[in-house]
Every structure is written in structure tokens, then in C-alpha cells.
Structure 1
Amino acid sequence: MPRDLPEDDDWMRARQRAIGAKVRAERRRQNLSQEAVFLAAGLDRRTFQLLEAGDGNPTMATLMRVAYVLGVDLTDLVQ
């Protein structure tokens, strides 16, 4: 039986922030600029900034592009 969703979306915002933090940490670990990553991924600056800040609502395609550019599995970013 599926679980009921919580009354608020705090749990989802927490996961978005965690994903953004993982993207930022991996980018910094590789000593890459935001610009290098968003350009290589074919994203605009604002989309990438929102993703890293955990404020955006990235599509699966966006997450896959960023993971590819960073050379990591998508699962590394979302687990």
C-alpha cells in the first residue's frame, strides 16, 4: 500500500537542497566553475544556479546532463 504524502512539501525541499549540495560538492571537487558545467550541459546560468541552491525543480533530463558532464552516475546525485 502506498504511503500518504505529508501535509507540506518540506521533505521535498530538503531532498532538492541535498541534490543541489551534491552537485555543488562534486563540481568543486573537480575544481570546475559553474559556468563550465552549465555551458557543457547546455543549460542556462539561472537553471544551474537554482539547481545548486536547491531552489529549482530540475527535469530528469537536466539532472542527467549535469551528471554526465560531471562524470558521475545520476544515482550519485539523487541518493
Structure 2
Amino acid sequence: MVKDELNKIIGLRIKSLRESKDMSQKSLADALFKERQTVQRIEAGGTNPTIFTLYQISKVLEISLHELVKIDELTGK
């Protein structure tokens, strides 16, 4: 798996979790003290978020960091 694929998989996971909580990109961005466009890029896989950013996202979405980035779970492999 290449970095771009991983970013897209994790981004889609974040988007799905955010939407399941009826949260807008703006709401997530505000909770992270980031711009909405940053969340948009993360969800689209267009950026490589730091481990700290992923940790912050996991806390806002009320899941563990492990659950957020667990590759087997994300890819079904």
C-alpha cells in the first residue's frame, strides 16, 4: 500500500465517522482549531495528517486512535 492510498482510506474513514455523528466539516475543523479546507483535504486524502492531528480527530469523533487507523479494519484485509 502506498502513502496516497493510505491517506485516502483514512480520509474516507474520518468522513464516514464524521457524517455518522451528523457533524459538518466546519464543526470538526472548529473542534480541531483548523480551517474547514484542512478537514476537506484530510478527508479527500490530499494531505498526510500528523499523528497528533489524527489523535485529535479520534478524540473529537469519540473513538480510539487505534480504531481510526487500523488498516485491517479499513481495508477489509
TM-score normalized with structure 2 length? 0.83
**Post-superposition offset of 1:46:** 1.9
Question: 1, 6, 10: which is aligned to 1:19?
Answer: 10
Aligned length: 70
Percent identity over the alignment?
A: 31
Distance in structure 2 (CA, Å) of the matches to 1:57 and 1:11: 12
Residue 33 of structure 1 pairs with residue 24 of structure 2: yes
Distance in structure 2 (CA, Å) of the matches to 1:61 and 1:71: 15
Q: Which runs of 5+ in 2 are unaligned?
A: 71-77
Residue 75 of structure 1 pairs with residue 66 of structure 2: yes
TM-score normalized with structure 1 length? 0.82
| The structure with more radius of gyration | 1
Residue 66 of structure 1 pairs with residue 57 of structure 2: yes
Q: Which runs of 5+ in 1 are unaligned?
A: 1-9
Post-superposition Cα deviations, 1:34-77, rounded to whole Å, max 9, x if no partner, equal 11111011112221111000111111111111111111111111
Q: Secondary structure at the match of 2:2?
A: helix
CA RMSD in angstroms, aligned pairs only: 1.1
Distance in structure 1 (CA, Å) of the matches to 2:66 and 2:45: 17
What's the counterpart of residue 36 of structure 2? 45
Q: Secondary structure at the match of 2:48?
A: coil
Moved over 4 A (4+): none
AA at the equivalent of 2:47? G
